[in-house]
Amino acid sequence: MQVVIFNIGDEKFALDTNLVHGIEKVMTITKIPTAPYYVKGLVNLRGNIVTILDLKKILNVFSYTDNEENIIIVEINEEKVGFMVDRVEEVIEVEMDSIERPVDNQEFIRGIINLNNNIITLLEGETLIVR
């Protein structure tokens, strides 16, 4: 399985590349006044309106800065959604049997990857957008 690794604060996360439609630099986001707390707003991405979600708020991750550099565009059930992240690092190949199951049944976590003594949380993309 290929995964894209990214940072939010001091933590590393990953998403299956089968879900990833693209990676964009942060662009102008139009806020939606009545949106839930985890919705940053909307962007116009090459003529398509895409909802941008704040992964820091969804995952309850602390970050010293609000310097999100990238938006990871995912497509799930024919819906495109963007996840704000601090920085995309790399795309790597991970063996399925090297992915550890999470200790608790956490709805957003698919598994844990131990890569060169770095703990990377593999996220379950589908549950992140179905809220």
pLDDT, position 97? 86
Structural domain of residue 13, as residue ranges?
2-129
What's the burial of 47, exposed, middle or buried (CB within 10 Å: 0-12/13-18/19+)? exposed
Q: Buried (b) or exposed (e) across 7-21, using 16+ Cβ within 10 A? A: bbeebbbbbbeebbb
Which range has the top average pLDDT, 77-81, 88-92, 97-101?
Answer: 88-92
Encoded amino acid at 26, one letter? V
Tokens 């990833």 map to which residue? 20
Which CATH number fits the domain that encloses residue 77?
A: 2.40.50.180
> What is each CA distance from 48 to 11, 68, 75, 77, 96, in whole angstroms?
30, 21, 12, 16, 34
**What letter does residue 38 receive in the DSSP assignment?**
T
CB 128 within 8 A of CB 83: yes
What residue type is 120 in one-letter code? I
Report the DSSP beta bridge partners of residue 6. Answer: 13, 88
pTM of the entire structure?
0.90
Is the confidence at residue 112, as pLDDT, over 80?
Answer: yes
Number of independent structural domains in the chain: 1
pLDDT tens digit sequence for 117-127: 889 999 998 88
Q: Is the pLDDT of residue 131 over 80?
A: no
Q: Given this model, what pLDDT does residue 52 score? A: 96
Whether the Cβ atoms of residue 5 and residue 12 lie closer than 8 Å to each other:
yes
pLDDT (tens digit, 9 = 90+) per residue, 18-68?
Answer: 999 999 999 999 999 999 999 999 999 999 999 999 999 999 887 766 777
